[in-house]
Structure 1
Amino acid sequence: MAAPTPLILCGRSVPEGPIVLLTGSTGGIGYETARLLAAGDVTVVVHARTEEEGAAAFQRLVNSGADPRRLQPAVADFSDLRQVAGLAAAIGAAYPRLDVLVNNAGTGGTGHRTLTPDGHELTFQVNYLAPYLLTRLLADRIGASPVGRVVNVSSSLHRAGRINWTDPSWKRRYNRGAAYAQSKLALTMFTAALTELEPKVREAVSVHPGIIATGMLKHYGHRSRPAIEGGEVVARLADPGAKVLDGCFYDGRLPAKSAAAAVEPEAVEKLWRLSERLTGLDRRPS
């Protein structure tokens, strides 16, 4: 059965100004980031997992005062890599360039090991393999922008992670927290990889937006700050006019030290090649 076609509402002219694709825009940090970006001169591609969630987020953003001409809904379920590829194709067809890609969509995982239709552990695919594939497939559009930035929304918990090289989908000894930490370590390593291995991407950063009152809170405890504060952190890095430190890990608004494994050159390249195999990019014509 063919994968569902991601929804892109593009039957109208796109306003002048920068274009930002923000994954996971329907709630929490993603929603607040979209609201803040749309308040400026940025056109925000508002990504949702389903059409219903996307329509609801679009209406909430408009009700909050966002200009509907600055919002472009898009749909893809990141647990299905065919939909991720479809989203990239739709974005590529709709826009000649993409100024900023914010890889924000994520999951805290489940209490038991869950496989996606692609055969990968759910947390690893949604939090890492899907953004990896989306970024690689959109590299030409990102490279067409004078900004050409990727913002990976990571976590301070990446420091507790390790890449399970022989068993990244946790066939043995699955642990929800370890799977989450692995996925965020991989995403932070991907930031370093983009600066070294993907010349079409001009800038790449990763960020821990803070301990925020979202569905991820259970990984940190019970003390948290409102989602708007996390949105402000991500929106600043996603602002095409803002200056960022290429390859940097930010803890909130400030540059911080990432895990040593996140910038170890051999491990970073090894993960890049493994990700190519797991997403099928190694089988695509060059």
Structure 2
Amino acid sequence: MSENPVILVTGTSEGLGYETARLLAAGTTTVIAHARTPEESRAACDRLIVSGVDERRLQPAIADFADLRQVADLATAIAERYPRIDVLVNNAGTAGAGGRIVTKDGHEQVFQVNYLAPYLLVRLLEGALAASPVSRVVNVSSSLHRGGRINWGDLAFKRRYNRGAAYAQSKLALTMLTTALTEFRPKVRQAVSVHPGILTTGMLAHYSYRGRPVAEGAEVLARLANPETKVLGGAYYDGRLPAKASAAAVDPDAVAKLWRISESLVLPGKRRS
């Protein structure tokens, strides 16, 4: 393993992503800290530096996941600067709004931000991940994935929108991505999903009125993202321990179907794999 690992963490402007980036940037790790806007990126990096992070260990990266063109540009820029990415932490996400929102790409916003954008980012960074002996993807899932289902006939919830159902579907899809990366994509050597706990973040409304400190969840996530930590490939973690994912998350036929659909939605010109 390289003495200077490179880790990309998405959604570092606040909350879980920010605290995870802060923990990972200690020592010799280079953290590519993604944020949605230049303003959010500057503010987050300034706060990280004030907290004691060496600015030489921080690389800002910007993309609004509600715009897949920006996600593609982000992947291109990162791959040009860092031909090797050791770990990708798919943390960026949205709790969703009270009503259905459609992105400029034509997708329901929660599904795009929480799943399609991470899927696209992984696919476009496959080469950089393959260059690493670790090549790990950590997907920030949720215990709510167990109550979710893939609405195959209406992924975008055109007929009846439900905020909770849209969120659960997106987290189930992200957990299924972990299975797909483990079973279908040998370029990514390790992939895990994790429910970091019920935390005091913007996602709290989906769970409870009370949550644990964000720092506790960040410790869990930073541990899984640490290249020196041994992980169980393909596993779903509930906190620090492997747990049982939903049956849908590991169903090979459903996982393969979602992979094909996702590819057709965000990589329409790519040959099926």
TM-score, normalised to structure 1, is: 0.93
2:194 to 207, 210, 230: 207
Counterpart for residue 57 of structure 2: 70
Matched, 1:55 2:50: no
- Secondary structure at 1:283 match in 2: coil
Give the residue type in structure 2 aligned to 1:217: L
Alignment of 1:187-266 (within 5 A): 187-266=174-253
- Secondary structure at 1:282 match in 2: coil
Deviation string for 1:51-110 (max 9, x for gaps)? 000000000000000000000000000000000000000011001200000000000001
- Secondary structure at 2:186 match in 1: coil
Distance in 1 (alpha carbons) for counterparts of 2:64 and 2:37: 7
The Cα of 1:282 is off from its aligned counterpart by 3.4
- Return 5+ residue gaps in structure 2 as ranges: none
Distance in 2 (alpha carbons) for counterparts of 1:61 and 1:55: 10
Matched, 1:137 2:124: yes
- Return 5+ residue gaps in structure 1 as ranges: 1-14
Counterpart for residue 284 of structure 1: 270
Distance in 2 (alpha carbons) for counterparts of 1:113 and 1:268: 25
Alignment of 1:22-33 (within 5 A): 22-33=9-20
State the identity %: 69
1:117 to 104, 108, 115: 104
Distance in 2 (alpha carbons) for counterparts of 1:48 and 1:137: 18
4+ residue segments displaced more than 6 Å: none
Q: How many residues align?
A: 271
Counterpart for residue 115 of structure 2: 128
The Cα of 1:39 is off from its aligned counterpart by 1.3
After superposition, the CA RMSD in angstroms is 1.1
Distance in 2 (alpha carbons) for counterparts of 1:75 and 1:85: 11
Give the residue type in structure 2 aligned to 1:113: R
Deviation string for 1:161-182 (max 9, x for gaps)? 0001111000011000000000
The Cα of 1:16 is off from its aligned counterpart by 5.8
Counterpart for residue 148 of structure 2: 161
Give the residue type in structure 1 aligned to 2:163: R
Distance in 2 (alpha carbons) for counterparts of 1:42 and 1:78: 25
- Secondary structure at 2:7 match in 1: strand
Deviation string for 1:190-245 (max 9, x for gaps)? 00000111110000000000000000000001121111001001000000111000
Counterpart for residue 186 of structure 1: 173
